[in-house]
């Protein structure tokens, strides 16, 4: 799509424009100083002829031209030199303000063979010319040809199209999706997915029994510009799935920790975890610390329990804690990028957890993405916000693969568009992701720094120390489930306690048919956000 260059104040000298930007061949925008357009000069010259001044009569006597006549002649000479085809005034549609700015501004169409630099030089040598510019061509920002792309409001609001002018991703960047798995044969995921590994009990390889992971993967890296479906933040990337949430969308701590550790071992530079629970866990936290120490950026969902009733999905009894990312794990761990969800009008999603842990916000309502076996779905959740940010982290790494997790986090959160209360706040963190500004920061090498001032301590509630005992779980919302207690409630079948008085290790078989060793904390509850 071509558009007119409307920069009245940006007179570009040909000398500065060594490399001319694309323009319509032979076409120029010329603005004359008031009274100096050819039509004005001509009118003035003819009135001069009819009622010649004394000075003009003297000039005529000596065969000299008036300056006005001479300027008109120079302009006429250029018109014939470059074979003028047509001239028309730049339309201002009768707006008085625009009229003043575009007074005597014309579109000149010359022979398409003319040398742009020559024409500009010749015009700039004439005093009455205020400026001349090539009729530059502007194009729509890079949008992919995927047919469902138009419904991806999230990509537009984070300025992905502008960012894609700089990079559309790279297959050398690996991103791990610790979730329900990835349907590797989905036509919009296949080319960007290396594998999906079953990590939890009953989790199969290379497919997705829960759909959630494939949806997350599509936002990170559905193949872009392939005339199919949707486009991810990365049009090209290498994703690895780690299926840890099976058996109805939940998974044990052991599986999730193994998934994170495997993702690090496999060389993923970014890990997305659109999952969580209300149990603080040293094992889980250590897996995340190890990931960050290994140079892996970990992006997680803030949780969906704000303003939600107590339920299996949102188990904490205290409503403030229930809707807080500070009491949601891994969201509360300081090593992760905690992502809240926004709507298409940049409001906070009604369910999006708030809290001191929130670092950034991203689109999370009515997000369309890939869905097994080979279709697409729109769903909502901080689960959908997190992969926008994880995808953004991947895209930044395609520009500079040596960025540290802290640099990635700063580039993302410190360039975000501030929303809500001025500056960092508990609803949006530092603001809504702006991918264009983030990629510009990385490309320029000037990555700003900013911290999340309210980052909670890693253990905001008392934890169950040492080993399980028969004492009751601490109150205040911490979901600690020593096996015997849960067995008494019928939630677990406990087997092989090593010590009757100190249940440091046991095997538990969850009612859902998933077994785990020493499940100190209950990740078996619905722990998935969608």
Give CA separation, 77 vs 26, 70, 74, 82, in Å. Answer: 17, 10, 5, 9
Q: Is 374 in the site for Ca ion (CB under 5 A)?
A: no
Query: Under rule CB under 5 A, which residues in 198-237 are in contact with Ca ion?
Result: 223, 226, 228-229
Q: Note if 127 is an active site residue.
A: no
Distant-in-sequence, close-in-space partners of 438: CB < 8 Å, separation ≥ 6: 163, 392, 396, 411, 412, 415, 416
Distant-in-sequence, close-in-space partners of 187: CB < 8 Å, separation ≥ 6: 228, 229, 374
Interface stretch with Ca ion, choices 255-263, 343-351, 359-367, 493-501 (CB under 5 A): 359-367
Q: Would you state the structure tokens that stand for residue 169, as one six-digit string? A: 């991703």
Q: How far is the CB of 194 from Ca ion (least distance, A)?
A: 18
d(CA 389, CA 395): 10
Q: Note if 383 is an active site residue.
A: yes
d(CA 289, CA 330): 11
Query: Under rule CB under 5 A, which residues in 400-419 are in contact with Ca ion?
Result: 418
Nearer to Ca ion, 304 or 338 (CB): 338
Secondary-structure breakdown of the chain: helix, strand, coil percentages, each rounded to the nearest 5: 30, 20, 50
Q: Is 485 in the site for Ca ion (CB under 5 A)?
A: no
Nearer to Ca ion, 117 or 226 (CB): 226
Q: How far is the CB of 331 from Ca ion (least distance, A)?
A: 7
Q: Is 391 in the site for Ca ion (CB under 5 A)?
A: no
Q: How far is the CB of 487 from Ca ion (least distance, A)?
A: 35
Nearer to Ca ion, 394 or 420 (CB): 420
Q: Note if 212 is an active site residue.
A: yes
Query: Under rule CB under 5 A, which residues in 181-200 are in contact with Ca ion?
Result: 188
Q: How far is the CB of 152 from Ca ion (least distance, A)?
A: 10
Residue with tokens 């603005």: 31
Q: Which of 36, 212, 285, 388 is catalytic?
A: 212
Q: Which of 179, 208, 326, 425 is catalytic?
A: 179
Q: What's the per-residue H, E or C state across 92-125?
A: CCCCHHHHHHCCCEEEEEECCCCCHHHHHHHHHC
Kindly determine how many residues on this chain lie close enough to bind Ca ion according to the rule CB under 5 A: 12
* Paired strand residues for 370: 376
Rounded to 5 degrees, what are φ and ψ at 227?
55, 25
Task: Indicate the helix (H) or strand (E) that contains 411.
Answer: helix 405-413
Q: Which of 196, 274, 348, 383 is catalytic?
A: 383
Sequence length of the chain is 530
Q: How far is the CB of 167 from Ca ion (least distance, A)?
A: 17
Sole binder of Ca ion in the list 303, 420, 460, 482 (CB under 5 A): 420
Q: Is 335 in the site for Ca ion (CB under 5 A)?
A: no
Nearer to Ca ion, 68 or 300 (CB): 300
Q: Would you state the structure tokens that stand for residue 366, as one six-digit string? A: 């009515």
Q: Is 252 in the site for Ca ion (CB under 5 A)?
A: no
d(CA 174, CA 182): 14
Query: Under rule CB under 5 A, which residues in 422-451 are in contact with Ca ion?
Result: 425
Active-site amino acid positions? 179, 212, 383
Residues that bind Ca ion (CB under 5 A): 146, 188, 223, 226, 228-229, 338, 357, 359, 418, 420, 425
């Amino acid at each position: 799509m071509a558009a007119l260059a409307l920069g009245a104040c940006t007179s570009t000298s040909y000398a500065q424009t060594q490399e001319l930007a694309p323009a319509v061949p032979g076409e120029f925008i010329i603005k004359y100083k008031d009274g100096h357009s050819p039509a004005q000069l001509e009118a003035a010259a003819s009135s001069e002829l009819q009622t010649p001044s004394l000075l003009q009569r003297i000039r005529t006597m000596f065969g000299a031209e008036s300056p006005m006549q001479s300027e008109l002649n120079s302009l006429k000479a250029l018109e014939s030199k470059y074979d003028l085809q047509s001239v028309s005034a730049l339309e201002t549609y009768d707006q008085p303000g625009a009229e003043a700015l575009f007074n005597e501004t014309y579109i000149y169409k010359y022979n398409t063979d003319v040398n742009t630099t020559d024409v500009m030089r010749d015009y700039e040598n004439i005093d009455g010319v205020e400026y001349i510019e090539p009729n530059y061509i502007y194009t729509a920002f890079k949008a992919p040809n995927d047919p469902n792309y138009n419904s991806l409001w999230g990509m537009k609001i984070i300025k992905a199209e502008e960012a894609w002018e700089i990079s559309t991703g790279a297959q050398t960047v690996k991103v791990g999706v610790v979730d329900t798995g990835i349907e590797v044969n989905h036509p919009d995921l296949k080319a960007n997915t290396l594998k999906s590994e079953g990590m939890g009990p009953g989790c199969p390889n290379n497919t997705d029994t829960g759909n959630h992971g494939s949806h997350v993967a599509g936002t990170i890296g559905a193949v872009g510009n392939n005339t199919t479906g949707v486009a991810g933040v990365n049009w090209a990337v290498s994703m690895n799935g780690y299926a840890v949430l099976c058996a109805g969308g939940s998974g044990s701590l052991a599986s999730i920790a193994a998934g994170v550790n495997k993702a690090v071992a496999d060389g993923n530079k970014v890990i997305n975890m659109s999952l969580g629970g209300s149990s603080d866990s040293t094992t889980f936290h250590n897996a995340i610390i190890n990931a960050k120490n290994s140079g892996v950026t970990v992006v997680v969902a803030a949780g969906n329990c704000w303003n939600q009733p107590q339920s299996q999905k949102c188990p904490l009894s205290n409503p403030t804690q229930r809707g807080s990312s500070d009491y949601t794990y891994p969201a509360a761990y300081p090593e992760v990028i905690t992502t809240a969800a926004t709507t298409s009008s940049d409001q906070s999603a009604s369910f999006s957890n708030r809290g001191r842990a929130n670092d950034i916000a991203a689109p999370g309502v009515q997000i369309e993405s890939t869905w097994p076996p080979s279709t697409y779905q729109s769903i909502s959740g901080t689960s959908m916000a997190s992969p926008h940010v994880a995808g953004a982290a991947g895209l930044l790494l395609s520009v500079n693969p040596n960025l540290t997790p802290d640099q990635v986090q700063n580039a993302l959160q410190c360039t975000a568009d501030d929303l809500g209360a001025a500056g960092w706040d508990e609803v949006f963190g530092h603001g809504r992701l702006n991918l264009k500004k983030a990629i510009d920061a990385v490309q320029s090498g000037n990555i700003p720094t900013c911290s999340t001032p309210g980052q909670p301590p890693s253990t905001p509630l008392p934890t169950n120390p040492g080993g399980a005992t028969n004492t009751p779980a601490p109150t205040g919302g911490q979901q600690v489930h020593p096996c015997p207690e849960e067995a008494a409630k019928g939630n677990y079948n406990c087997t092989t306690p090593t010590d009757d008085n100190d249940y440091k290790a046991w095997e538990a078989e969850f009612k859902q048919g998933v077994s785990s060793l020493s499940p100190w904390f209950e990740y078996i509850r619905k722990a998935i956000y969608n």
